[in-house]
Amino acid sequence: MAAVAGTAAAFVGGTVMTVPAQAQEARPLTAMRRSSPRYVINTATGMCMTVHGASKAKGAKVDLYRCVGAANQKWSMVPTGTVSQIVNLKSGLCLDVLGGKKSNGALLGQWTCNGSANQKFFLTHQAGGGFIIGASHTLKEVQPKYHDRRANNPLHQWGSNTRWARWHH
């Protein structure tokens, strides 16, 4: 999908939006169905959101790893109203704030898709490119636990908007 000059196309809450290049507010363009599987890349590290060890198990942690083209690194955005579930290609399981926890530092993993609030995420376009992934039940952002490029860096939710919370695909 091509964007209109001076705008960008972005996924926001499972909907494709046109966003003025300088703004962070989005206007609905058209409803989207499940997106094709794609990498979700942390902008600060250049590393992919990955199900650890290519596991298909419920509760397996989700972390960052160099992008190698594996199915456990590809995700689909599935609209559920104004937010989306994020589903892993290899396992078919949903990104999940494990245990439904609401605290800063709560780890992310994968779990059977069940429509619970801790499996629903908003995607907010950022000026200059990329987007923030936020847990809808806490409004906390998904980012790596350690602010560096280490392999297998676990993902967690945190309540601050830092460069570590920016993603692209």
| Residue 7 belongs to some domain of the structure | no
- Give the pLDDT of residue 139: 95
- Give the pLDDT of residue 161: 67
Measure the CA–CA gap between 111 and 147, rounded to whole angstroms. Answer: 25
Spatial CB neighbours of 135, under 8 Å, sequence gap ≥ 6? 97, 118, 120, 121, 141, 142, 157
Measure the CA–CA gap between 134 and 119, rounded to whole angstroms. Answer: 10
- Give the pLDDT of residue 54: 98
- Give the pLDDT of residue 169: 85
- Give the pLDDT of residue 4: 34
- Give the pLDDT of residue 160: 80
- Give the pLDDT of residue 146: 93
| Residue 69 belongs to some domain of the structure | yes
First and final C-alpha spacing in the chain: 14
Measure the CA–CA gap between 37 and 64, rounded to whole angstroms. Answer: 17
- Give the pLDDT of residue 30: 32
Spatial CB neighbours of 70, under 8 Å, sequence gap ≥ 6? 50, 54, 90
| Residue 93 belongs to some domain of the structure | yes
Q: How many domains does the structure of the chain reveal?
A: 1
| Residue 88 belongs to some domain of the structure | yes
| Residue 26 belongs to some domain of the structure | no
Burial of 116 from C-beta contacts in 10 A (0-12 / 13-18 / 19+): middle
Q: Which domain holds residue 127?
A: 33-164
Q: For residue 51, what is the domain's CATH number?
A: 2.80.10.50
| Residue 16 belongs to some domain of the structure | no
The two three-digit tokens of residue 90, written as one number: 């290899």
CA dist 53 → 56, 64, 72, 80 (Å): 9, 11, 8, 28
Q: What is the pLDDT along the chain (169 residues), one digit of tens a residue?
A: 333 334 333 434 444 333 333 333 333 323 346 789 999 999 999 999 999 999 999 999 999 999 999 999 999 999 988 899 999 999 999 999 999 999 999 999 999 999 999 999 999 988 888 999 999 999 999 999 999 999 999 999 999 867 899 999 8
| Residue 118 belongs to some domain of the structure | yes
| Residue 15 belongs to some domain of the structure | no
